[in-house]
Structure 1
Amino acid sequence: RHHLLTAQLFFNTVCVCVCVCVCVCMQSCHATKPDMLNVHLVPHTHDDVGWLKTVDQYYYGDRNDIQHAGVQYILDSVVDQLIKNPDRRFIYVETAFFYRWWKQQSSATQQTVKQLVDEGRLEFVNGGWCMSDEATTHYSAVIDQMTIGLRFLNETFGPCGRPRVAWHIDPFGHAREHASMFAQMGYDGLFFGRLDYQDRAHRMREKEQELLWRASDSLTPPMADLFTGILPNGYNPPEGFCWDQFCDDPPIRDDPDLEDYNVDDVVKRFLAIAKNQATVYKTNHIIMTMGSDFQYENANLWYKNLDKLIHYVNALQAKGSKVNVLYSTPSCYLQELHRANLTWALKTDDFFPYADDAHDFWTGYFTSRPALKRYERISNGNLQVICNQLEVLGGPVSRKGPFGEGDSQTMKKAMAVAQHHDAVSGTEKQHVANDYARKLAEGWQHCQVVVSNSLAGLSSSSAERIYCDNLNVSVCPLTESSKKFSVNVYNPLAQPVNWAVRLPVNGTAYSVSDAKGRSVVPVSRATQNVRRNRGFAVNELVFQVQAPPLGYTIYFVSLRQDGPPPASTQPRPPTVIKNKYRKLNICVYVLQFLQVTFDPDTGLLSSLSNLETKQTIKLTQNFYWYNASDGKNMDSSQPSGAYIFRPNSSTPFVYVSPQTSVVQEVRQWFAPWVSQVVRLYTDSRTLELEWTVGPVPIDDHLGKEVITRLDTSIKTSEIFYTDSNGREVLQRRKDFRPTWQLKQSEPIAGNYYPINSRAFIKDDEDQLTVVTDRSQGGASIQNGSLEIMLHRRLLYDDFRGVGEPLNEISSIFPEGLVVRGRLLLSLDRPPTAADTHRPLAQQVVLFKWFCPVSQLRTHHFSGLQAALPPAVHLLTLTQWDKDKVLLRLEHQFQSWESKRNSKPVTVNLQKLFSTLDVLGASELNLSANQWKDEMSRFDWTPQTDEKPLLKTFEDHSDWEVTLRPMEIRTFLLRVRLR
């Protein structure tokens, strides 16, 4: 069937009869016994795509002094053992490893593996390039990494290789948006292993460890409904039944002539475990994971003992035993649960935060390695925005043009690896984090060729593009040394956007063609300290630009000989209030839409006003830090680490009275290692806070977790809101869990949640939204406040396996890592706030991109015939193969949050692009590995009176598609370059 993904595109409205040879997967599930307890044994290995060792080291089995693990040997051994006994089963998860192994096999081995897959003896579950993290990943990157893995399986094995089950056994908490995405990708169910210890105890009592997760409040059920099962032992075997080469449990010794014969003891212990497990699950089917981290390198050990276990336990059925043991897979187990035709508990929130004991909340990794988290977010923008989009818009010349052969695949695979739950999460060893960053940098180098070729073709100029990757610290050799240059400004969004460009320069006055709001400001002391010897600019040129949707504008910049820029082009300066007592310049900062005031006594922010809506709130913003627990206290020996956040006090240490200066922006210096710049831009409805933190001092031998806190006059009633993987918003309440009674033991860490792109607090009158530039942890500990963790430097390992403290240094910062980031603040009325923060979050994630060019004439280009409606986000535009592109259109509003934009929107695919003729279109599921109209999933009945509603589409024609709130629709388009 997968070959039809190409064939069908050539026909749109014409009905064609084709004779196709269809691969039929053999019935692979072993028979169960309805009058017995059926124990499904699932042989598996959990292979981290980097953690204690790099991806390459794990695959080849290198650096076994760190951890003995070699994935290539696992796959070799498992395939050999599956061939020997047709009853045996095995599941495999990480396509990044399997893809590498597959490419190295002979055609004979590949044919054998295909037969194992067709017969269901080797089953792929999950199937993404990796098993992604769920707290710190953005949905666009998750969809991409799933697509790349599932596409390989689809093209290699056809329908028999398509996973039916999502398998997230190791992530440290589970996001609602992930469940929604899995449902839209066609999965029948999800299984995971990590669950809060109090939540698990509650679910065991109520027999609710298997449930129906309703993962969207906007998508019509069952579109985002996903059956979810919680595994009984994490993802490990039952205690005493591990038979890997590094396990200590005794093998089954079944020779009755030997003194150490132990079959009776093994069977007795197994039956006791099985019957005990059955008491906390709902059906006469239970699942046991038989494997763990990097196991089955010598698969014979496992299978020889499992064969015996199945034989001897089932032999007791002749004596009246009611336990039946069988080799199984998650999809076979799920099939039996579906056949039970029961009703299931309904869940609508998520599984954050996760704790495995009273003082052990896994909320530190929401912020761990903030520099890597930012680099991953930038790389996602580079891939989505520049590499993918410009490769399509530029056509074949983008892949082979004046600057050489371009490549987007390297970046796609590097980004896919970075989504792993020990990558962007920040929970890996330092040398592994460095390797993730290296792979991203290598991918970006390949993408730059694609970009240069594409822009050269679109602008009819082969002028060299300069990629200034260190603009966040005001470094760009071309703009620092040139008197004349051009700036190529690209907008990845489907709507026109205005924004401010900041370029390092050494002149004092410049002219910029067609730009508004020009100004030159000195480079701040903080920036000079951070960039070290990497640049020499003394000033920054700031000007407002506009770029058309999915297009670019070229601006020409030239140095003026004398004098400042004309007064008419300067932004309105802030009103400066002199404080005669403390001799600080404190200002009321006023531009077109916002007004910001600072307290004359402390130098801190004191209020924020929206001049359009006539709103004003009290707003104080400061920096604090929690001293990290070293584990030496009465309550618990648990220290803070890469995973765990555990402050040694509920009261953070505070900075007050920063040194403040005003240079067309407010610069605050809180300490030698904490500073901030407060900015308002012309035509902007947001306040920018650019923070710089580090090196975090540890001379006092205390680890520190640095936060910024916004204290407002908003009446929040201990409630705040966070996004889920950058999409839907969830309500959070202090010391509360929606589905179980929380006994709070960590009043700070136990109230932290992941913030992937934004969080907000609100009451009936005011809503303050904070948009972040990376994934971070945050909380609302006090009424009217919102705190966000920015940086962590710790001195102890937290005993969760990584084996080293989170104490980052680098060659540039040997004394400790310095991190810089931005928070964007907006103030609105609650009924209309989403109209601002939804598009703003997309702008930050898919950041507006620009590159200086030696010299180009002014030029404009848009890849769209017209801007798309505000509710529609162009999520994916990427080359699929020679004449086909993959397109995802997303309705980016929830059904309840905007009177104006939470409505269905219709888009005409044939009238979308300015450079492409769309010749054919076929709709796929979210992961692009099935036709949408042929995707079928199990129906489940929740414990509620609601009846599932089947989703229907009401498109007006073959070319017009309708998007409803929170809906993503995926299309494979056959195109021709105009």
Structure 2
Amino acid sequence: MKYKERIVTATILTLLVLFTLTLFKKNDISLYREQRKRDICEPKHSYMTADWTVDSIYDNLNFTVNSKDGLYTVVEKPGFNTGHQIKHSEPLRIIVVPHSHNDPGWLWTFEDYYTIRTRQILTNTIEALQRFPDFRMIWTETVFLDRWWKESPEPLRLAFRDLVQKGKIEILSGGWVSVDEATTHYTAVLDQMIEGHLWIKEHFGIFPNISWSIDPFGYSSTLPYLWRKAGMKDMAILRIHGAVKGFMGNRKMLTFNWRQPWDKHGDHDIMCHVEPFTLYNIECSCGPDTDICKVLDFSSVGSFPDNEQPINFGKNRQARNFEDFAELVVGQYKQKAALYKHNVILMPHGDDFRYIESYDFQTNYENMKRLMDYVNKKSEWNIKMEFGTVGDYFDILHAEMKKSKLKDVSLTGDFFTYTDKDNEYWSGYFTTRPFDKRMIRELQEYLRATETFTSLIYVYLLQHTDSMPLDLDSDWEAIQLARRTHSLVQHHDAITGTSTEGTVVDFEIKIYEAIHSLIEIIQKRLTNILSPGTRTNVADLKLTRELPSPKSNLEVKTISSTSDTSSLVVLNSYSVARTEVINVYIDTYDVEVFDSKNKVVPFQVSPVWLSHYTISQHEYQIIFEVNVPAIGFSVYKIRRRSLVINRVIKPNKKDKSVFSNVISVKGKIDDKYRLFSINKDEENSKVDFIIENNFLKLSFIKATGALHEMCLKTSTKYCTKVAVDFFRYFGNNSNAYCFNSNKFEEDLFLNADSVTLITGRFMSQVKVHHKLFSHSVTLYHSNSIQGQTVHIENNATLLTPEEENTELMMRISSNIQNKDIYFTDSNGFQMNRRKPRKNLPIGANFYPFTTMAVVEDTDTRLSIHTAQPLGVASFTPGSLEVMLDRVPMSFGKGLDEPVTDNKPAISKFILHLEQLRDHHFTTDYRQNQMQPSMTSYIINDLLQNPVISLYSFTSVNFKIKKLSFLNSDKLPCDISIANFRSLLTESGKFIGTGLTLHKRVTSCNVHQNENICSGTHELDLNSLFKDLTLEKVSQMSLSHLHEVRNEISRVVIKPMELESFQFRWKR
């Protein structure tokens, strides 16, 4: 009996334990799921912790202007205290910083600037600093250093390096160029920074630790994070809104700690110095009175006043001699110092391309030295004045603030849109020359693909074959040159479109040559990997899209069916496998398509349009769905079924299902051979027409072809107004930089020449043609993410004199009640909150639009993804308007010519509609942070990283038909690859692969979002790449300047952070 009782007791205890374990396991799984959700989701109601936001400054700002030339004044209100407030025992420290601002392309080309000016500046700097030991010089543009270094003899190089290492020449920022901060993608900014920093390290052995950004036309909230993460502790800027400067100067906020909106504790704060006056030239540097300050520009003025040549400044002010003038200048210094809470001021002493001749160095040094000696001896002035660098200024400043126990305020936000004068808002350049902005983004796409695949194919061949290509060294050199071209055009007078026409042509030629060299490398290296160990003819592999000239858009190339079978290689440089519909042009429709496993692939035949109403009789679009692995490729075969060429064969009735149905809603269509079912819609019918797939139904206005409603085919069958229309602004005050128009013409759709509806198995499309633009809306019949979105492509054609002073706009309207709050991306890295300022001009309300813009309310979010940088605004609830192209005819801001070199400008967008749940929508700017959903991130990534297709028109049987270099399940989709590059020495030796990863934070308030991907707390780097053997992985500083951790395998990346790694491969 006792034995049975023991058995029962043991059984009960066992069941209790099992029950407890099961309960614990369920709770553990639940907790794990919640943790996983938290790993990729935004913290609810996250709160900005900075003392100030730029939004709050605008809300409290009195937009006043100075009566002098309409310039904004730093003195915000009457009675402003211009006295310098410091302890009497502490001197006012004035750091005079000689500088020469060298743009690598603006009014002249890079080569012209270098040959005529910069080469002399750099060479004469050496002689001057050796002659005047306490003189200094700062430099930012590494692209000029690279050119000078290659041309200069060894003694000059050694002397320059010595001056850099002694701190007499200070390298600031250290990027390849001084980038624009509005229109650049953060990955491009990062790439040019790595390129410049590695060059600086290799040649000078130093690490840049201060950012100097005094000429970009407004400032991003993202770039301070990049600078700080790359090891820079301080930064200096200049061009922010004049009224904002006044507000900040009156509150002694012109040095502040710039904080990221998601950084609660200020871990990435960077001290930022703002120069308080209009420009970086000498007359705007010493104080508010430019008449006094410009006397210090000795390269222009020559010398100080004396008794024989006094200087009159008006208002009964006169400098009869040097001593009088010195007193006036000291007054300017004190007025400048009054704008800061500390007793150290920075005085830049230079201008564009200054210090060309030895005389410039001598006259500036000797005159400023005379002033310094005099001022320093006047003990009653309590001033210590000296030459120094920007680094010297910050070192003294930090020491003084620590000693005085001063603390700067923290601030969050960006400084757009910039103006220095009246209503001249610098928002036009967000769009100016959109052809070039699109071309630069295409260069970025090809560069990323070439960098990724060349590096990985090289390692694959090294580890898996006995034969290595003999021409790889030339590849590395070509990649480096293309990378440096890409870095060059990120400059604030290149991608902005604000250079002279001659310089723009030079940039376009450089971009064209870089793209062609990258295409050639892709073709060669893919040949190597498709048939390793064999020598396939490189000429057999060609891109399906080509760039005919520097002035042309990418054009689809028609595949010739001279062979029975053509191979199509589809390349995916993105870190997620993709399923999407693609199209190729071929000279016959009588084909079959096979995938990498030789399975038949269904397809759709659609017209190739020679014009908006003429269908080609010799070319056809073959549209089908492809599956391509992450960072890999798939090979498809297109086999000709009939050997008959050069004559048209009408399809059998049973084949008609593959042909698109074409309906002429408005206008006529010329289809000579009637291959397609072309119908003329009833002219009197006013019923809307629709296109739809498994996810979406789109309704269009029949009279205009304009989209006006989107329906989600969810369980709730949610429909909302999403309308597209085109209009234009007119005005005669806009220039390449500024947008200053206010008259507009509504609804250009009403004057459209034609509206065409095309439907088929894999793609349905509405095409609208107007004399100023063509517009298409495409819906893909795919169950992938591609099928959940609406694809828009425009081609702006502002090419005739009638379009002068025109700004062409596309507006997306909805019934979303967003309470005037909307969001635009910041360089593709994060989202910024915006709201229209109705007290400001139209131009003041346009913002940079690099990758994404969003309107939302408690229930609905509408995102617009863009494939090229442009300008965007919102003036009515639920709407966003995008500036597509412009022809500004006014001069100004240093560029004395209009923009008249317009070319057909293609722009690509994706509309994404999402339903929200449990969404906390607020107008509180401190809480109103917005994170895209993971679906939205992936949509944008796919847009920024399109597949690249290549074809071989000979019957080649490739050994490898599908390959992926990435274990995609080891890289969660909340971690993206921000930078992938081949690490090379200056001599072109391959030393490894650099990888920068970005852990993104997403919104989880979107229906059907949880299963997109899972987050991970820890990343295993050793298992990231497939079939490639590592020697070691090191964690590096962001720009690869120094090693952070040696030989790591697992790493935790914090939300929103970027981390860089170096992969060294076994040989």
Match in the other structure for 2:374 = 315
C-alpha distance in 2 between matches for 1:165 and 1:337? 14
Does the Cα contact within 8 Å between 2:724 and 2:811 map onto a contact in 1? yes
Compared with structure 1, are the counterparts of its residues 479 and 718 closer, same or farther at alpha carbon in structure 2 (3 Å cutoff)?
A: farther
Q: Please, what TM-score do these two structures have when normalized by structure 2?
A: 0.78
Structure 2 residues not aligned, in runs of 5+? 1-86, 284-289, 312-319, 463-467, 548-552, 643-648, 666-679, 918-930, 985-989
Aligned residue number for residue 1051 of structure 2: 961
TM-fit CA distance, 1:694: 0.6
1:269 equivalent to 2:328? Answer: yes
In the other structure, the counterpart of 1:873 is 976
> Quick one: which of 366, 369, 373 aligns to 2:433?
369
Q: Is the 8 A contact 1:92 1:125 kept in 2?
A: yes
Moved over 6 A (4+): 243-246, 256-261, 396-399, 564-569, 571-579, 895-899
- Sort the Cα spacing of 1:835 and 1:783 in 2 relative to 1 into closer, same or farther, 3 A: same
**2:391 aligned with 1:331, yes or no?**
yes
Q: TM-score, normalised by structure 1?
A: 0.85
1:154 corresponds to which of 201, 209, 215: 201
Shift of 1:216: 4.2
- Looking at structure 2, the residues matched to 576 and 72 of structure 1 have their Cα atoms a distance apart, in angstroms, of 61
Distance in 2 between residues matched to 1:248 and 1:709, nearest whole Å = 49
The separation in 2 between residues aligned to 1:402 and 1:258, in whole angstroms, is: 69
Which of the numbers 686, 690, 709 marks the counterpart of 1:588? 690
Q: Is residue 973 from structure 1 mapped to residue 1025 from structure 2 by the alignment?
A: no
Change in Cα spacing, 1:99 to 1:108, as seen in structure 2 (3 Å) is: same
Query: 1:427-826 counterparts in 2 under 5 A?
Result: 427-460=498-531, 462-463=536-537, 464-470=540-546, 475-479=556-560, 484-514=565-595, 518-526=603-611, 538-561=619-642, 563=651, 580-582=682-684, 587-612=689-714, 614-627=717-730, 629-630=731-732, 639-649=733-743, 652=746, 654-656=748-750, 658=752, 659-664=754-759, 665-683=764-782, 684-699=787-802, 702-735=804-837, 744-746=839-841, 748-797=842-891, 799-809=892-902, 817-826=903-912
Given that 2:710 and 2:722 are in contact with CA atoms closer than 8 Å, whether structure 1 keeps it comes out as yes
CA distance in 1, matches of 2:107, 2:1064: 44
CA shift, 1:437, in A, is 1.7
Mapped partners of 1:213, 1:293: distance in 2: 28
Q: Is the 8 A contact 2:967 2:1023 kept in 1?
A: yes
Counterpart among 379, 386, 389 of residue 443 in structure 2: 379
Q: Is the 8 A contact 1:579 1:586 kept in 2?
A: no
The residue type paired with residue 678 of structure 1 is V
Instruction: Name the amino acid aligned to 1:555.
Output: Y
User: How far, CA to CA, are the matches of 1:821 and 1:259 in structure 2?
Assistant: 59
Q: State the 1:834 CA deviation.
A: 1.6
Secondary structure of 1:343's match? coil
Report the CA distance between 1:892 and its aligned residue: 3.0
Question: How does 1:847-866 map onto structure 2 within 5 Å?
Answer: 847-854=946-953, 855-857=955-957, 859-866=961-968
Instruction: Output aligned runs, 1:215-230, within 5 Å.
Output: 215-217=260-262, 219=263, 221-230=265-274
Decide whether aligned partners of structure 1 residues 933 and 750 sit closer, same or farther in structure 2, where only a CA change above 3 A counts. Answer: same
- Which amino acid counterpart does residue 417 of structure 1 have in structure 2? L
Q: Which residue of 2 aligns with 1:739?
A: none
CA deviations 1:467-506 (Å, max 9, x no partner) are: 3444876531434776631111111111101222222223
Query: Who is 2:144 aligned against?
Result: 97
Alignment partner of 2:1052: what SS?
strand
Alignment equivalent of 1:885, drawn from 989, 993, 997: 993
Q: Relative to structure 1, is the Cα distance of residues 259 and 509 closer, same or farther in structure 2, using a 3 angstrom cutoff?
A: closer
Cα distance change of structure 1 residues 131 and 501 upon mapping to structure 2, 3 Å threshold: same
Secondary structure class of the residue paired with 1:362: coil
d(CA) in 2 for partners of 1:247, 1:895: 56
- How far off is 1:928 after superposition? 1.2
Is the Cα–Cα contact under 8 Å of residues 499 and 545 in structure 1 kept in the other structure? yes
CA change 1:622–1:465 in 2 (3 A) is same
Tell me if structure 2 keeps the 8 A contact 1:598–1:605. Answer: yes
* Cα deviation, residue 313, structure 1: 3.9
**Which residue in 1 is equivalent to 2:939?**
840
Instruction: Say if 1:356 and 1:315 are closer, same or farther in 2 by CA, change over 3 A.
Output: closer
C-alpha distance in structure 1 between counterparts of 2:523 and 2:957, whole Å: 16
Pairing 1:141–2:188 present:
yes
The structure 2 residue matched to 1:43, chosen from 82, 86, 98, is 98
Do the aligned partners of 2:664 and 2:755 also contact (CA within 8 Å) in 1? no
- Note if contact 1:490-1:849 (Cα within 8 Å) is conserved in structure 2: yes
Please report how far the alpha carbon of residue 360 of structure 1 lies from its aligned counterpart in structure 2 after TM superposition.
0.4
In structure 1, C-alpha distance between the alignment counterparts of 2:115 and 2:617, rounded to whole Å: 44
| Residues 327, 672 of structure 1: alpha-carbon distance in 2 compared, 3 angstrom cutoff | same
Q: In the alignment, is the contact (CA less than 8 A) between 2:663 and 2:756 conserved in 1?
A: no
Tell me, in whole angstroms, the C-alpha distance in 2 between the residues paired with 1:78 and 1:536: 65
Contact 1:473/1:527 (<8 A) preserved: no
Contact 1:585–1:660, Cα closer than 8 Å, also in 2: no
Alignment partners' CA distance in 1, 2:500 and 2:561: 37
User: Counterpart amino acid of 1:706?
Assistant: L
- Is contact 2:545–2:555 with CA below 8 Å preserved after alignment? no
User: Partner amino acid for 2:300?
Assistant: D
Q: How does 1:174-323 map to 2 (within 5 A)?
A: 174-217=219-262, 219=263, 221-233=265-277, 234-238=279-283, 239=290, 240-241=292-293, 247-252=299-304, 262-316=321-375, 317-323=377-383
Letter in 2 for 1:551: G
Partner of 2:488: 417
Q: 1:570 to 1:181 in 2, by over 3 A?
A: farther
Structure 1 residue 198: deviation in Å? Answer: 1.2
**Deviation per CA, 1:15-68, whole angstroms, max 9, x where unpaired?**
xxxxxxxxxxxxxxxxx997111111110011001111111111001xxxxxxx
Structure 1 residues 581 and 454, CA gap change in structure 2 (3 angstroms): closer
> Structure 1 pair 86/566, CA: closer, same or farther in 2 (3 Å)?
farther
The answer as to whether partners of 1:491 and 1:552 remain within 8 angstroms in 2 is yes
Q: Which runs of 5+ in 1 are unaligned?
A: 1-31, 62-69, 631-638, 737-743, 810-816, 935-956
* Structure 2 contact 779–790 (Cα < 8 Å) conserved: yes
Deviates more, 1:673-682 or 1:395-404: 395-404
Q: Does 1:172 align with 2:274?
A: no
Q: For 1:910, give the aligned amino acid.
A: N
Q: Residues 132-156 of structure 1, C-alpha deviation per residue, up to 9 Å, x if partnerless?
A: 0000001111101011111011111
Residues 559 and 586 of structure 2 are in contact (CA less than 8 Å); yes or no, is this contact kept in structure 1?
Answer: no
The alpha carbon displacement at 1:252 in A equals 3.3
Query: Are the equivalent residues in 1 in contact too, given 2:249–2:276 (CA < 8 A)?
Result: no
Change (3 A) 1:785 1:693: same
> Is the 1:41–1:288 contact (alpha carbons within 8 Å) kept by the matching residues of 2?
yes
- Whether the aligned pair in 1 keeps the contact of 2:798 and 2:885 (CA below 8 Å) is no
CA contact (8 A) 1:177 1:216 kept: no
Report the identity percentage: 24
Map Cα deviations across residues 621-659 of structure 1 (whole Å, 9 max, x no partner): 1111111x21xxxxxxxx111111111326656432643
Once the two structures are TM-superposed, the CA of residue 271 in structure 1 deviates from its matched residue by 0.6
- 8 A Cα contact 1:391 1:454, kept in partner: no
Q: Secondary structure at the match of 1:347?
A: strand
Read off the aligned partner of 2:542 and give its amino acid letter. Answer: I
> 1:877 and 1:297 mapped to 2: Cα distance?
39
1:516, 1:717 → 2: CA distance? 48
Q: What code does the residue aligned with 1:298 have?
A: E
SS, match of residue 603 in structure 2: strand
User: Quick one: distance in 1 between partners of 2:1022 and 2:456?
Assistant: 16
8 Å Cα contact 2:142/2:196 also seen in 1: yes
Residue aligned with 2:101, SS: coil
The match for 1:924 is 1036
